[in-house]
Amino acid sequence: MQELWKLVSSPRHLIVFEAAARHGSFTRAAAELNVQQPAVSAAIRQLEESLGVILFHRSHRKVELTKAGERFYADISRALEEILVSARAVYQRGQNDHVTLSVSTAFAYYWMVPRLEGLHEKHPDIDLRLQTSDREPDIDAEGISLAIRRGDGNWPGVHAVLIAPEVIYPIASPAVMQHANLSSVPDLLQQRLIHLEEPVRERPNWGQWLSHFGVQDPPPKGGLRLNDYALVLQAAMAGEGIAFGWKHVTRHLIEKGLLDAKPEWGWKTGKGFYLVWSQTTPLIRQAEQVRDWMISLAEP
């Protein structure tokens, strides 16, 4: 760090440089940072003197990055963005006025939303903020109070409580299921299947499901392929084919008659969906209330 201090002389110069490079203008950078334009010029000049290189080509109406400036900007902008993310997370932790819950889109729509009225009745003053994500979040780094993860419940740095065991069975609209003629599991090979292909998170597929039931033939290559489970459920309800049905997410849709299922063909994978929270950062009282409420709704 001593060497860095000598090279840049002041962290403020890095912020000024990033703004000037992003805008391509010392004047617009000054306006953003609420300083005078000569202050920006002086900061850039001092940074160039410390580094021993020219960072900008200066002309009457604009400034442009040199090759050295382009390299420096690429690294500095990325580093400052990471610092900003961390600063936001720490700031939110310090506010202690809301609860963040990170879940998948499908879990938010079809598990949380139907139950929110009960939470509001029990804890009307809680400010709950649902964050949907297509990846497993880093709770401490992102300032998240609670999250839902799929797995075996063993992750470093977090507490984990099982909300629902993973049970998967075929689902479809009532009309599709009625005409599918599914007398045995291999009959699914003759049906139009809806495939979930998430780009980041690991999820089971039709091949694994069929193999569990002793069917070694690969699933048909046709069908519909979607990258979000909420879209899969919408397609299934619209009659586009037969889809995976995670029991804990689809149970209410089946009870309402929006979907039909083959629960006798349920595959218990041995994994589950867990509510997790940090082992190192204590939960605020409101987050504890949300945690306890969700645990009270856990499925056997």
2-95 fold: Arc Repressor Mutant, subunit A (1.10.10)
pLDDT score, position 198 = 83
Query: Which helix (H) or strand (E) segment is 131 a member of?
Result: strand 128-132
Query: Which helix (H) or strand (E) segment is 156 a member of?
Result: none
Q: Is the pLDDT of residue 259 over 90?
A: yes
Q: How many helices (H) and strands (E) does the chain have?
A: 13, 11
For residues 208-216, average pLDDT? 94
Confidence class of residue 62 from pLDDT cuts 50, 70 and 90?
A: confident
pLDDT score, position 137 = 77
- Map out the domains of the chain as residue ranges: 2-95, 97-300
Q: Which of 130, 175, 166, 173 is nearest to 249 (CA)?
A: 166
Q: Is the pLDDT of residue 42 over 80?
A: yes
pLDDT score, position 300 = 74
Sign of CA dihedral 175, 178, 180, 184: positive
Condensed to tens digits (0 to 9), the pLDDT of residues 89-113 reads 666 555 556 899 999 999 999 999 9
Q: Is the pLDDT of residue 86 over 80?
A: no
- DSSP letter at 157? T
Confidence class of residue 83 from pLDDT cuts 50, 70 and 90?
A: confident
pLDDT score, position 90 = 66
Locus of tokens 């990170």: 102
Condensed to tens digits (0 to 9), the pLDDT of residues 148-178 reads 999 999 999 999 999 999 999 999 999 999 9
pLDDT score, position 93 = 58
pLDDT score, position 138 = 81
Contacts (Cβ under 8 Å, ≥6 apart) of 69: 21, 54, 55, 56
For residues 214-237, average pLDDT? 91
pLDDT score, position 96 = 58
Q: Which of 118, 116, 110, 150 is nearest to 251 (CA)?
A: 110
97-300 fold: D-Maltodextrin-Binding Protein; domain 2 (3.40.190)
Selected residue with higher pLDDT from 133 and 236: 236
